[in-house]
Amino acid sequence: MHRTPGLTWIAVKGARHRQLNLKQGEAKAHQPFLWRSYVAQTDAEKEGIVYNACISACEKAGQWQHALALFHEMEGCRIPRSSITYNATISACEKGHEWERALTFVAEMEALNVDRCAITYNACIAACDEAGQWQHALLLLADMSRNQLQSCAITYHACIMACEKSLQWRRALSSNQCV
């Protein structure tokens, strides 16, 4: 099993740093609950949390290739990938202008019955927006509606921007898909 060197340590240090930055009273009040929650998790779940943090860190650093490597490494290590894992990876694809990969991950989530949410769709629609893929953005919006997921201003903004970039904004507005 191959692990990306250093990333787990970075994620653990970052999580520890955030934990130490909690207000003292808040930390003391939540400490027993947090500890019980942590102990109740399996090793694979704990590893998944670390991988999710690392994928998210890669996304924020614009390192989409590393995020994808970590995502695929999870399968080899038999660490379950959650909707959080997929959402972070789709966001990394957005930052890397990899809209086709983002669409593939959304389709994979559906095929594997992994819960999708507005965050999933917003990230993928934003990736399509960046690439001017207005048709895909509108199809994702329709898919959200079919799956009874609530769209928000972010969703509509990304769809409208995708249409505008491709000079299709009138079509989007006239078809009432983005209003």
Q: Over 70: is that where the pLDDT of 135 sits?
A: yes
pLDDT band at 172 (very low <50, low <70, confident <90, very high): low
How confident is the model at residue 155, as a pLDDT?
A: 85
Distance from C-alpha of 105 to C-alpha of 27, rounded to nearest angstrom = 36
Higher-scoring residue by pLDDT: 47, 41: 47
> Over 90: is that where the pLDDT of 56 sits?
yes
Entry field: residues in the chain: 179
DSSP state of 5: T
Q: How far apart are CA 178 and CA 151, in angstroms?
A: 10
Tokens of 121: 């769709």
* String of DSSP letters for 64-82: HHHHHHHHHHHHHTTPPP-
pLDDT-derived band at 125 (thresholds 50, 70, 90) equals very high
Query: Residue 33: what pLDDT?
Result: 53
Q: What is the pLDDT of residue 31?
A: 56
Asked if 124 and 140 count as a contact pair (C-beta separation under 8 A), the reply is yes
In angstroms, how far is CA 136 from the centroid of its own chain? 18
Query: pLDDT, tens digit, for every residue of 59-116?
Result: 999 999 999 999 999 998 889 999 999 999 999 999 999 999 999 999 999 999 999 9
Residue 159 has pLDDT above 70, yes or no: yes
| pLDDT tens per residue, range 1-45 | 444 445 544 554 454 444 444 444 444 555 555 555 555 556 777
Euclidean distance between CA atoms 153 and 178, whole angstroms? 10
Contacts of 127 (CB under 8 A, 6+ apart): 90, 93, 94, 97, 98, 99, 102, 103
Does the model's pTM come out above 0.85? no
pLDDT recorded at residue 112: 96
pLDDT value at position 9?
44
